[in-house]
Structure 1
């Protein structure tokens, strides 16, 4: 198999090296990552400056790799349209330091890298680790990811696959299993906090309250709850954003009635 790998922590992040090392057991890997951290940049692309792909060699002689002065979505888009000589079988994004759960779907650069691949009709998996600070023993998540991929690769995946994977920071013997779960959009994980500078001005920073959610009541089948319990969580993401049921109702209301603008133009 052939894989394209990106991330939002930057080309020098040890998490992407861990992901590459794991994927090399299954096939050929190409890496295109931002040249610096691009966390929480969502699905933005670069429009008003040129993009440069700088070759790097620190993944080894068998891995074609580039550092890009752009976003994770840029990395995947440029890789699929220009750099990759053959279409990869999968695009992987990660391994992100810190989990991606719930509303992170709309903010995460890691998840955006995977979403960009699906727009090109290539299945994608984003991988995140429930650990926010060093030191990180990457042997733990690499073993968990290897076992998970052995199962995932046993079946043929459609072009629309977009799976969000979160790995607990646990040894394999401590992991309770794999949970296929929905994303809990009810949890507001990030909050602005105000800080005063020496001149009395107030500035606001986003604070991650992931570690303060212990007392929060979580849905039993949610990604938040299962990751906290020690499961690997897998969430298939639907890229279809058009609500067809609402479209049909609006069409009956607005288009098929002559007293509305839509009806008058038919």
Structure 2
């Protein structure tokens, strides 16, 4: 998209409307005179909600004034609900770009299948709108401004070069001047040694608390390895999960495969 052309940008997330990552990104991006920025986000924490949508309950919406002018919308629903409502419900102008984040914590490797952040961005892609999922790969580092400024600086170039599909972007949990650069990566494998600790509640009912330790990724071409090396990672993604190699193999066997 050329400079000087107004772009409608939708911001959403899975950490909730008032999450500092989302609010920082809005404050940085709203300064651009060339873009109009809207917020439609969950009204509460919805991390790890995946790509779920709400079918059997109403989506209550609360307006909140935004700095400058206009309103943002907090939705009692999932991140994917928020994007569907924004695109199809007419509460904000139809976006030219969806940015989901900035998430507190990484969304790397196969963890993206659980991520509400990535799911919200992918919902934009399913509606034919390019999208970015953005995450700060730390739960302790809380300065979102370097990541927000990076996104604001590169959003026009990103939109021009990746006019379709989704970019999953992760930022190191460190000051911007300590980043080693940017790597375009593929998804790694986020493999955990999971532990399910059995406990009893005060009424004697048994429950489990899940935890896990991430096994380090050793392939340097992956997002998991690159983020740990101090790089911003950019991973192009799409919604087509078809295994084309297997598809050709099965098609080559002919119709008799299932007889």
Structure 1, unmatched stretches of 5+, are: 262-266
How far residue 198 of structure 1 moved from its aligned partner, in angstroms, is 6.6
For 1:41-52, list aligned pairs within 5 A. 41-52=49-60
Residues 142, 107 of structure 1: CA spacing in aligned structure 2 closer, same or farther, 3 A cutoff?
same
Whether 1:203 and 2:210 are equivalent positions in the alignment is: no
Residues 196, 52 of structure 1: CA spacing in aligned structure 2 closer, same or farther, 3 A cutoff?
closer
Which residue does the alignment assign to 2:220? 220
Whether 1:15 and 2:21 are equivalent positions in the alignment is: yes
RMSD: 2.4
CA deviations over 1:144-201 (Å, ceiling 9, x no partner): 3334436425x34323x2000001122222110001001112x313723314337776
Structure 2, unmatched stretches of 5+, are: 1-6
Aligned counterparts of 1:94 and 1:85: Cα–Cα separation in 2: 18
Whether 1:110 and 2:120 are equivalent positions in the alignment is: no
Which residue does the alignment assign to 1:240? 240
Deviating beyond 4 angstroms after TM superposition, the runs of 4 or more aligned structure 1 residues are: 198-202
Whether 1:55 and 2:63 are equivalent positions in the alignment is: yes
Q: Aligned pair count?
A: 250
How far residue 218 of structure 1 moved from its aligned partner, in angstroms, is 1.6
Which residue does the alignment assign to 2:195? 192
How far residue 50 of structure 1 moved from its aligned partner, in angstroms, is 1.3
CA deviations over 1:213-236 (Å, ceiling 9, x no partner): 5xx352111111111111100000
1:40 to 33, 37, 48: 48
Residues 232, 148 of structure 1: CA spacing in aligned structure 2 closer, same or farther, 3 A cutoff?
farther
Aligned counterparts of 2:168 and 2:68: Cα–Cα separation in 1: 29
CA deviations over 1:26-78 (Å, ceiling 9, x no partner): 41111111111111010000011111222111x32434311111100000001
Which residue does the alignment assign to 2:169? 165
For 1:54-203, list aligned pairs within 5 A. 54-57=62-65, 59-84=66-91, 86-133=93-140, 136-149=142-155, 151-153=157-159, 155-159=160-164, 161-185=165-189, 187-189=190-192, 191-197=194-200, 203=207
Residues 30, 146 of structure 1: CA spacing in aligned structure 2 closer, same or farther, 3 A cutoff?
closer
How far residue 24 of structure 1 moved from its aligned partner, in angstroms, is 1.7
Residues 15, 208 of structure 1: CA spacing in aligned structure 2 closer, same or farther, 3 A cutoff?
farther
TM-score under structure 1 normalisation? Answer: 0.84
